[in-house]
Amino acid sequence: MFLGRSGESIMLRVESRQTHNDNELAKVYESFRNTNHKLFKKSEIQEKLLDLSFNQKVQNIAGMQISDLVAYPIGRWVMDSTKENKPFEVIERKFHAGTRGQGYMNYGLKVFP
């Protein structure tokens, strides 16, 4: 985890959808936090990911709007990297890359199932 390089932690804020979607996301989040993974130990995840909370769209939070502008092109690229995606081309230059020329996958961009 990039956060592993510092003493920082993160509180996730997500835009609320329908209640059943929020509940499903909360279950996935808790499952992720409580499972050892190939790249991370459960204790490291729990230490870094402190909280998940849902915000309503009507709250019009600037950080959420910026996140949408970044997340949508990344999601489109993950779903089909063969299609033209100019916003992703701009964003991908910002990803942290490996030190040995490995690129940004699993360094600046991690895709979880």
What is the model's pTM? 0.61
Element containing residue 86 per DSSP (H, E): helix 86-92
Q: Check the CA dihedral 81-67-33-21 and report its sign.
A: negative
CB 4 within 8 A of CB 44: yes
Q: Which residue has the tokens 């936090």?
A: 33
Q: How confident is the model over 43-65, as pLDDT tens digits?
A: 988 988 899 999 998 888 888 88
74/6 Cα distance (integer angstroms): 25
Query: What phi and psi, each to the nearest 5 degrees, are found at residue 97?
Result: -110, 160
pLDDT per residue, tens digit, the chain (113 aa), is 455 667 788 888 899 988 999 999 999 999 999 999 887 889 988 988 899 999 998 888 888 888 889 999 999 999 999 999 999 999 998 888 877 777 888 778 888 77
6/68 Cα distance (integer angstroms): 26
